[in-house]
Amino acid sequence: IEQSLDAAVDQIILIYDGSSSDDSLMDNVQHHGKCCGRMGPADWLKNSHILSLNLTGPHILPCSCFRSFHAGVNSSWCYEQLNVMRPLYGPGNSSYVQGCKQTLSDWLQENAVTVVAMVVGLLLVQLVQFGVMVDLYRAFGRKSSLKRSKQLPGPGPGPGPGPGLGPGLLLHRLE
């Protein structure tokens, strides 16, 4: 599970642009976990946007990597160097140096029982649904075989008002 979590975080970092729900999730992890990247801020050098800037160090990071920041206009990126004036990026102050791997691992360990319980609960619900489906299938099969053997009357017009009651007898009984 931890390896797939690492791969998912790496993929989010690679394509992060601040607009998707995965990006918001990463921002929340970094902001509340007080961490940056998976192993550290240098992970962001693999991001497609950062690669296009030809940076040698992690000077521009998601704003969620900073203790305090003023986000730029329509951008989730911030810069730490105060002498860099980039209108697209907001200034950030004191980026987190610790990666989020340990924070995510701790969360996974703390919530492992809950995650497993939810999986088991969903499995039980599916088993009950399967049992109900099998019972319904059998019931429809029995009904179909009874119809074929004429033991169960099908829908349609009946014999009339009742056995032995013609229209005259019915009127006689009602009087």
Question: 81 and 29 in one domain?
Answer: yes
Question: Are 75 and 139 in the same domain?
Answer: no
Q: Are residues 102 and 123 in the same domain?
A: no
Most confident of the ranges 43-57, 105-119, 161-175:
105-119
Co-location of 78 and 12 in the same domain? yes
- The reply to whether 7 and 68 lie within a common domain is yes
pLDDT above 90 covers a percentage of the chain that reads 37
- For residues 6 and 92, membership in a common domain is answered with yes
Residues 94 and 83: their CA atoms lie apart, in Å, by: 15
Residue 85 lies in a domain: yes
Q: Does 91 reside within a domain?
A: yes
Q: In 138-160, which positions are buried (b, 16+ CB within 10 angstroms) versus exposed (e)? A: eeeeeeeeeeeeeeeeeeeeeee
> Measured between alpha carbons, how far is 111 from 117 in angstroms, rounded to an integer?
10
- Condensed to tens digits (0 to 9), the pLDDT of residues 115-172 reads 899 999 999 999 999 999 999 999 999 888 888 887 656 565 555 455 554 554 444 4
pLDDT in the model for residue 173: 46
Q: Are residues 56 and 124 in the same domain?
A: no
Query: Which of 5-19, 83-97, 104-118, 127-141 is predicted least confidently?
Result: 83-97
Length of the chain: 175
Domain containing residue 95: CATH number: 1.10.1450.10
Question: Are residues 102 and 122 both part of a single domain?
Answer: no
Percent of the chain with pLDDT over 70: 75
For residue 9, is pLDDT > 90? yes
DSSP string, 42-97: GGGGGSHHHHHTT-SSS-EEEGGGEEEE-PPTT--EEE--TT---TTSEEEEEE--
pLDDT at site 84: 53
Q: 40 and 64, same structural domain?
A: yes
Residue 10 in any domain: the answer is: yes
Angle among Cα 65, 68, 69 to the nearest 5 degrees reads 85
The domain in which residue 97 lies consists of 2-108
